[in-house]
Amino acid sequence: MNKNILVTGGLGYIGSHTCVELISAGYTPIILDDLSNCKESVHARIQTITQKNNIPFVRGDVCNRNLLDNIFSEYKPLAVMHFAGSKAVGESIQKPLLYYRNNLETTLSLLETMQNYNVKSFIFSSSATVYGEDNTPPLVEDMKTGSVTNPYGRTKYMIEEILKDLHIAEKDWSITILRYFNPVGADASAMIGEDPNGVPNNLMPYIAKVASGELSELKIFGNDYNTADGTGIRDYIHVTDLAKGHVAALEKKGEESGLHIYNLGTGNGLSVMEVLKSYQETSGVTIPYIITGRRDGDLAASYACADKARQELGWSAKKNIHDMTLDSWNWIKSGNS
């Protein structure tokens, strides 16, 4: 039986780890990626990790309708997992049109093509950012969304709204929105991981580059928040746990019509200082840091209520912060990035 799943952005950070988990669960990801934010070598690495050498990879833009037609005709995917998009908050403020174009147009092109080919199962990469500033953690799926502060976050909110409208019109579709908290770490093989262009914006890849000596010190953005040690709190989740959450969503909800929304987080908040301490312990490297002012738009604390995914998908995150920092460090040390 055909177990093809179209995975857009499948050579990127989260997509590549999800391809590994899909293959391990017996699916064949059909990877579509334009290589705008990843390396083609990730394709071979996915195949090496999973010991499968026939995983299709198509290089191209998800906005290219002719290409989508060819892919849907040839591979007849059962479902679509949509990771492709632009994801840097700061860049989205500088280049809002690029973000609206890439994130909205990829999604609309895919959904319209799915309609044409009668494919009705869609899993979307959303973000905890849609909860915005007005909710108090732990964040629960039915809280009000939308008070987002930047174009990137607005694209996620807008796509969620588009999917809610689609669900009203197309009752027989299965639409799953997964709201990721803070994905970190790397595959245990250290063959794939996060490989940001330039200076990282996110905490864990930044710490990794300080630990490896590529950057001189970590700047901690504020220690005057109303938190136990004054630094910001987030819900860090190992990328392999996150990837397994996609397989759980596909298996539990991919054939059940309706709109399904889940947080993918651990349910535990950790401060910047706690992450830093763990990284120092696992790497054995002393990581220099300074305290600077708060970063614009940052929240004091954001973490998930992880109950719904556990109850309905039978999924919960298994890896702890030690696993996350150790796999990040092993990935950096491997020289595979």
Footprint on this chain of ligand NAD (rule: CB under 6 A): 8-9, 11-15, 32-38, 61-63, 83-85, 87, 102, 106, 125, 127, 180, 183
Task: Give, in order, the Cα–Cα distances in Å from 112 to each of 78, 178, 216, 263.
Answer: 15, 20, 48, 26
Q: Cβ neighbours of residue 223 under 8 Å, at least 6 residues apart?
A: 229, 230, 231, 273, 291
- What span, in angstroms and rounded, lies between the C-alpha atoms of 68 and 79? 14
234, 238, 244, 260: residue in contact with ligand UDP (rule CB under 6 A): 234
Residue whose pair of structure tokens reads 């539990």 in the numeric block: 252
220 part of the interface to ligand UDP, by CB under 6 A = yes
75, 100, 117, 221: residue in contact with ligand UDP (rule CB under 6 A): 221
50, 64, 201, 280: residue in contact with ligand UDP (rule CB under 6 A): 201
Least distance from ligand NAD to the Cβ atom of residue 126, Å = 7
Closest residue to ligand NAD using C-beta atoms: 12
Residue 183 binding target from ligand NAD, ligand UDP, none, CB below 5 to 8 Å by type? ligand NAD
Beta carbon nearer to ligand NAD, 129 or 278:
129
How many beta carbons lie within 10 A of that of residue 247, not counting itself? 21
Size of the site for ligand UDP (CB under 6 A): 14
The answer to whether 104 and 142 have CB atoms below 8 angstroms apart is: no
The answer to whether 59 and 38 have CB atoms below 8 angstroms apart is: no
- What are the contacts of 226-233 at 24+ separation with CB within 8 A? 226/300, 227/271, 227/300, 227/301, 228/271, 229/271, 229/273, 229/274, 231/271, 231/272, 231/273, 232/271, 232/272, 232/298, 232/299, 232/300, 232/301, 233/269, 233/270, 233/271, 233/300, 233/301, 233/302, 233/303
Q: List the catalytic residue out of 13, 99, 131, 152.
A: 152
Residue 11 binding target from ligand UDP, ligand NAD, none, CB below 5 to 8 Å by type? ligand NAD
Residue 220 binding target from ligand UDP, ligand NAD, none, CB below 5 to 8 Å by type? ligand UDP
Choose one: 11-19, 108-116, 134-142, 197-205; the region binding ligand UDP (CB under 6 A): 197-205
Residue 110: alpha-carbon gap to chain centroid: 18
Beta carbon nearer to ligand NAD, 85 or 185:
85
Residue 7 binding target from ligand NAD, ligand UDP, none, CB below 5 to 8 Å by type? none
Least distance from ligand UDP to the Cβ atom of residue 200, Å = 7
Choose one: 39-47, 117-125, 167-175, 200-208; the region binding ligand UDP (CB under 6 A): 200-208
Helix, strand and coil content of the chain, in percent to the nearest 5, comes to 40, 20, 40
Instruction: Verify whether residue 152 is a known catalytic residue.
Output: yes
Least distance from ligand UDP to the Cβ atom of residue 230, Å = 11
- What span, in angstroms and rounded, lies between the C-alpha atoms of 194 and 86? 15
The answer to whether 189 and 138 have CB atoms below 8 angstroms apart is: no
What residues numbered 248-277 form the site for ligand UDP, per CB under 6 A? 272
Q: Catalytic residue numbers?
A: 152
Binding site for ligand UDP (CB under 6 A): 182, 201-203, 206, 218-221, 232, 234, 272, 295, 298
